[in-house]
């Protein structure tokens, strides 16, 4: 997995839920502070208002003593007592003279004068000096500071904690003496201010409403966070679910596999990365349909999943391919388990034989790049080819080197073609009748600037696989046309030179016109350029092949079939293809059975070709005995190391004086 893709998935999995939670906590804290502040301020305001009201009443009572003397004493005292009876906030009234000697008291009670707090002004009630004496009360909620009543928040909170169950009675009382100078006397009014539940009713209703709103908001926020978490989990499940099997997909295998291998960095367990693929899966889909093919993959996945052990993972890769990270003890035991897995998968389709290819990479301690490990296992499987049989291959260094070589070839091939690093070599074909030059075959050699001489078997198969062979064939055809044109210009005699035409060309219906256009640029007779095609081309689009060969022969090009007998030869191809030359594969002249079966078959092929008016070319001839045998059988041309190896064009021209 690329780093950018891995980073995107990692960020999505960690989709910022924590900011939402943090935001919720922050909002709750802010609301709590606001509510606490509002509660405190409202409580203080209520207490202050009650104290203010009580203080004003106290001043009015004190003002009754403005005319206090021996004559008015009794009347004023009775008036004061009547006020005390009426005003529940005033508990007692006492009078002292300026020397602090008692004059009169409604209940014979005087404050402790050493607890007096002097102040210049109290809540704007009077501009005269007023002294306040705080009565003894453990739940006192106010103090006097610079002419203002200051409510103690902590003490105010305690008011609610000592509340009584009877709402009709006060749940706390606030006591203080107001010392008011009147008529040369000091009138002391004991205020006993009651605080009721009803005083806080509106504040309580507001608190309840605010609390309800906050609860609704918090509930909505929590639902949003839960929904986000659920959405992330659902989406993560989709990310890690294979759409064909419904099980774990490749991304999850990479994640789990990487974690397992990182934990196993000391090598306590042996791990093997396995690539398992069903052979001919596309053929199965062609026969039974794509839906049946996907159902088969799903069944394969379920069967493999049951075989997985603890600390092992597997996933569907693509098509009918699966990746497995298996634990093993010994290599032989691992091979036995692979065979058992193949048996289990074959039981999914009773009555039908299914073949598998398996590539295995034995993970080394410290390796945890799952994609690279799986790539190694795939390389091992690719080296098996596509034979329809169960085969297993273990990755080794040589396989990796081969892949590196393929990569280098593909990186350099276009540059090599542009720089004319591909050079034409000619191998002569010698006539058996007179042992003189009868033709040649054009062969390509790659002279690489750093690798030097590269033999064809190291790059031709790669070109056939990646399609570059089409460009190379056109290049070779044009080079031979140039050579023939140069020989004509120099007055040399021409011999037919055969050029290979890969089977990949026969997918285009205008191939004959394409070949004619290349050759005709150099005004070379078509008869001196022979076009070789392999017998395997016959098994592709037969209609296009037959039509193209017909057009080429009508245009004057000789057409030959190369490597006849190298594969699964079909006499039917000789019947349907109108060809001019038949080349017998060199394998008929090698091996222990040459003297018996091989030469007999060669003899019969030559006889058959003669009856079909075809020329016979035998390639790969390396001994005088083979030459004599072929001469006796009537073979027309012989090509092989017995006469000459492939050589550069200039050397060929000098040697054979063409």
- What confidence tens digit (pLDDT) does each residue in 231-272 have? 767 777 777 788 888 888 888 888 889 999 998 878 788 999
Q: What DSSP string runs through 13-50? A: HT-S-HHHHHHHHHHHHHHHHHHHHHHHHHHHHHHHHH
Give burial (CB, 10 Å; 0-12/13-18/19+) of 193. buried
- What confidence tens digit (pLDDT) does each residue in 341-380 have? 999 998 888 878 888 989 999 988 888 889 889 988 988 8
User: Does the pLDDT value for residue 154 go beyond 70?
Assistant: no
- Looking at per-residue pLDDT, the higher value among 265 and 478 belongs to 478
Residue 7 falls inside a structural domain: no
Residue 167 falls inside a structural domain: yes
Residue 430 falls inside a structural domain: yes
Q: How far is CA 484 from CA 23, 146, 290, 555, in A?
A: 84, 122, 52, 17
Kind of pairing, strands 581-584 and 615-619? parallel
Contact 657, 638 (CB under 8 A): no
CATH number of the domain within which 603 lies: 3.20.20.450
- Looking at per-residue pLDDT, the higher value among 570 and 415 belongs to 415
Q: Are residues 422 and 387 part of one domain?
A: no
> Looking at residue 164, what is its pLDDT?
39
Q: Are residues 451 and 390 part of one domain?
A: no
Residue 226 falls inside a structural domain: no
Nearest CA-CA partner of 301 in 247, 256, 339, 374? 247
Residue located via tokens 């080197």:
401
CATH number of the domain within which 368 lies: 3.30.70.270
- What confidence tens digit (pLDDT) does each residue in 525-556 have? 999 999 998 766 655 667 888 888 899 999 99
Residue 222 falls inside a structural domain: no
- What confidence tens digit (pLDDT) does each residue in 28-78 have? 788 778 777 777 777 777 777 777 788 888 888 888 888 888 888 888 888
Residues in contact with 102: Cβ distance below 8 Å, sequence separation at least 6, in sequence order:
94, 95, 96, 110
> Looking at residue 128, what is its pLDDT?
44
In 10 A of CB 7, how many CB atoms? 11
Q: Are residues 92 and 120 part of one domain?
A: yes
Q: Are residues 156 and 38 part of one domain?
A: yes
- Looking at per-residue pLDDT, the higher value among 127 and 222 belongs to 222
> Looking at residue 145, what is its pLDDT?
52
Cα 587 to Cα 131: distance, rounded to the nearest angstrom: 131
Percent of the chain with pLDDT over 70: 82
Q: Are residues 531 and 464 part of one domain?
A: yes
Q: Are residues 390 and 422 part of one domain?
A: no
Compute the mean pLDDT over every residue in the chain, rounded to the nearest whole number. 80
> Looking at residue 162, what is its pLDDT?
40
Q: Are residues 377 and 299 part of one domain?
A: yes
The DSSP letter of residue 455 is -
For the record, the structure tokens of 24 come out as 């919720």
Q: Are residues 126 and 38 part of one domain?
A: yes
User: Does the pLDDT value for residue 166 go beyond 50?
Assistant: no
Q: Are residues 162 and 300 part of one domain?
A: no
Q: How confident is the model at residue 177 (pLDDT cuts 50, 70, 90)?
A: confident
Q: What DSSP string runs through 182-202? A: ETTEEEEEEEEEEE-GGGGHH
Cα 521 to Cα 482: distance, rounded to the nearest angstrom: 9
Cα 642 to Cα 626: distance, rounded to the nearest angstrom: 9
Q: How far is CA 73 from the centre of its chain?
A: 100
Percent of the chain with pLDDT over 90: 26
User: Does the pLDDT value for residue 9 go beyond 70?
Assistant: no
Q: What is the mean pLDDT of residues 476-494?
A: 92
- Looking at per-residue pLDDT, the higher value among 55 and 410 belongs to 410
SS3 87: coil
Q: What is the mean pLDDT of residues 86-100?
A: 83
User: Does the pLDDT value for residue 116 go beyond 60?
Assistant: no
- What confidence tens digit (pLDDT) does each residue in 274-306 have? 999 998 888 888 888 888 888 889 999 999 999
Q: Are residues 466 and 523 part of one domain?
A: yes
Q: How confident is the model at residue 121 (pLDDT cuts 50, 70, 90)?
A: very low
Domain boundary among 335, 366, 395: 395
User: Does the pLDDT value for residue 524 go beyond 70?
Assistant: yes
- Looking at per-residue pLDDT, the higher value among 408 and 145 belongs to 408
- Looking at per-residue pLDDT, the higher value among 318 and 118 belongs to 318
User: Does the pLDDT value for residue 158 go beyond 90?
Assistant: no
- Looking at per-residue pLDDT, the higher value among 572 and 117 belongs to 572
> Looking at residue 165, what is its pLDDT?
38
- Looking at per-residue pLDDT, the higher value among 160 and 631 belongs to 631
User: Does the pLDDT value for residue 565 go beyond 70?
Assistant: no
Residue 238 falls inside a structural domain: no
For the record, the structure tokens of 640 come out as 């092989």
> Looking at residue 315, what is its pLDDT?
92
- Looking at per-residue pLDDT, the higher value among 114 and 517 belongs to 517
Cα 195 to Cα 174: distance, rounded to the nearest angstrom: 8
User: Does the pLDDT value for residue 114 go beyond 80?
Assistant: no
Kind of pairing, strands 172-182 and 148-151? unpaired
- Looking at per-residue pLDDT, the higher value among 89 and 336 belongs to 336
Q: What is the mean pLDDT of residues 199-203?
A: 72
> Looking at residue 568, what is its pLDDT?
52
For the record, the structure tokens of 386 come out as 């596509």
Domain boundary among 365, 395, 425: 395
> Looking at residue 569, what is its pLDDT?
53
Lowest-confidence segment of 174-188, 200-214, 449-463, 492-506 by average pLDDT: 200-214
Q: Are residues 69 and 160 part of one domain?
A: yes
> Looking at residue 124, what is its pLDDT?
42
Residue 224 falls inside a structural domain: no
Lowest-confidence segment of 70-74, 205-209, 406-410 by average pLDDT: 205-209
Q: Are residues 492 and 384 part of one domain?
A: no
Residues in contact with 415: Cβ distance below 8 Å, sequence separation at least 6, in sequence order:
421
Structural domain count of the chain: 3
Residue 402 falls inside a structural domain: no
Domain that holds residue 381: 250-395
């Amino acid at each position: 997995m690329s780093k950018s893709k891995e980073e995107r998935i990692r960020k999505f999995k960690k989709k910022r839920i924590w900011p939402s939670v943090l935001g919720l906590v922050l909002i709750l804290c802010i609301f709590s502070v606001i509510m606490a502040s509002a509660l405190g301020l409202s409580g203080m305001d209520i207490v202050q208002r009650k104290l203010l009201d009580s203080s004003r009443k106290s001043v009015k009572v004190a003002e009754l003593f403005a005319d206090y003397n021996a004559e008015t004493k009794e009347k004023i005292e009775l008036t004061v007592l009547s006020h005390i009876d009426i005003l529940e906030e005033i508990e007692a009234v006492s009078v002292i003279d300026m020397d602090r000697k008692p004059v009169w008291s409604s209940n014979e009670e005087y404050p402790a004068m050493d607890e007096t707090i002097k102040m210049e002004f109290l809540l704007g009630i009077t501009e005269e000096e007023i002294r306040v004496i705080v009565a003894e009360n453990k739940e006192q909620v106010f103090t006097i500071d610079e002419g203002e009543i200051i409510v103690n928040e902590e003490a105010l909170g305690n008011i609610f904690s000592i509340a009584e169950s009877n709402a009709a009675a006060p749940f706390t009382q606030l006591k203080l003496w107001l010392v008011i100078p009147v008529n040369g006397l000091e009138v002391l009014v004991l205020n006993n201010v009651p605080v009721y539940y009803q005083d806080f009713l509106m504040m309580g209703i507001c608190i309840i409403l605010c609390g309800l709103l906050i609860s609704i908001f918090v509930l909505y926020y929590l639902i949003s966070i839960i929904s986000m978490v659920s959405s992330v989990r659902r989406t993560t499940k989709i990310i890690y679910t294979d759409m064909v099997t419904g099980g774990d997909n490749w991304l999850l295998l990479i994640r789990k596999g990487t974690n397992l291998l990182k934990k196993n960095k000391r090598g306590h367990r042996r791990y093997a990365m396995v690539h398992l693929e069903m052979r001919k899966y596309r053929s199965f889909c062609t026969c039974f349909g794509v839906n049946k093919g996907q159902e088969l993959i799903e069944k394969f996945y379920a069967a493999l999943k049951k075989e997985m052990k603890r600390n092992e993972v597997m996933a569907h890769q693509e098509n009918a391919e699966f990746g497995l990270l298996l634990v093993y003890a010994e290599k032989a035991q691992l091979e036995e388990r692979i065979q058992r897995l193949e048996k289990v998968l074959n039981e999914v389709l009773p009555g039908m034989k299914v073949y598998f290819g398996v590539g295995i990479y034995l993970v080394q301690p410290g390796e945890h790049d799952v994609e690279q490990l799986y790539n190694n296992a795939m390389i091992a499987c690719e080296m098996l080819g596509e034979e329809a049989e169960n085969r297993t291959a273990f990755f080794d260094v040589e396989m990796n080197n081969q892949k590196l070589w393929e990569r280098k070839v593909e990186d350099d091939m276009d540059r090599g073609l542009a720089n004319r690093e591909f050079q034409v070599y000619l191998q002569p074909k010698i006539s058996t009748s007179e042992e003189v030059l009868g033709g040649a075959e054009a062969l390509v050699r790659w002279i690489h600037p750093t690798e030097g001489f590269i033999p064809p078997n190291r790059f031709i198969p790669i070109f056939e696989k990646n399609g570059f062979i089409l460009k190379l064939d056109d290049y070779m055809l044009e080079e031979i046309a140039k050579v023939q044109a140069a020989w004509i210009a120099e007055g040399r005699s021409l011999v037919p030179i055969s050029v290979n035409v890969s089977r990949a060309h026969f997918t285009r219906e205008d191939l004959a016109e394409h070949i004619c256009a290349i050759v005709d640029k150099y005004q070379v007779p078509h008869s001196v350029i022979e076009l070789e095609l392999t017998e395997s081309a016959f098994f592709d689009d037969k209609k296009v092949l037959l039509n193209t060969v017909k057009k080429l022969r009508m245009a004057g090009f000789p057409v030959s079939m190369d490597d006849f007998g190298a594969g699964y030869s079909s006499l039917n191809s000789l019947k349907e293809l109108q060809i001019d030359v038949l080349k017998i594969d060199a394998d008929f002249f090698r091996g222990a059975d040459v003297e018996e079966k091989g030469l007999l078959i060669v003899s019969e092929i030559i006889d058959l070709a003669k009856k079909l008016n075809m020329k016979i070319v035998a390639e790969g001839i390396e001994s005088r005995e083979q030459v004599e045998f072929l001469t006796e059988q009537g073979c027309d041309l012989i090509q092989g190391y017995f006469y000459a190896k492939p050589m550069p064009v200039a050397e060929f021209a000098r040697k054979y004086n063409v």
